[in-house]
Amino acid sequence: MLIFAGLGNPGGAYAGNRHNLGFMAVDAIAREWRFDRERAKFSSLVREGTIAGEKVLTLKPQTFYNESGRAVGDAMAFFKLTPAEVVVFYDEIDLAPGRFRMKIGGGAAGNNGIRSLTARIGPDFRRARLGTGHPGHKERVMGHVLSDFHKSEIDWVAALTRAVAEAAPLLVAGEDERYQAEVMRLAPAEKLDPRARNGEEA
């Protein structure tokens, strides 16, 4: 069994926020693979289904973004899972809009949701990082992530969430690098991260 956890904030007021891109991604997966109806469990909204013969639980913590670790930790403990069996989908300001990267472990890079998860379950969970771009100045980050996507961004958001859903069998198989490549093949995005001008890697 696997847990696909999306990060976001509960309630309609936040539904279109960049910070809720993780929720959007796991919702797309549940729709694509016809998971069962959403219900409340583990301080989250959850759906269960099967992808490529593997049971998967999608989980959207209702604890608010910065306390996501509690909900994911409770679900992990109930099913006796390891961090390797948890994939966390979340918005990543250090990737250009529409870019996608998989990684295992690492630091929180200022993301309080990831910090909460690391404190509760350790750092070695699988991370599906969905690029939303950086506003350019540190003091503008909070307003950026808590603002809605612009109408001009809706197409790439839809394409990216659809791609992460369609390629999910590779994720279930543990082929994270192939999954990353397939998502970007299905939803190609602008290749230049703003920091690339300085020779830095996203």
Answer whether 73's CB lies under 8 Å from 119's CB.
no
Q: d(Cα 199, Cα 197) in Å, to the nearest integer?
A: 6
Cβ atoms of 119 and 69 closer than 8 Å: yes
Q: Supply the residues annotated as catalytic.
A: 19
Angle CA 149–196–116, to nearest 5: 55
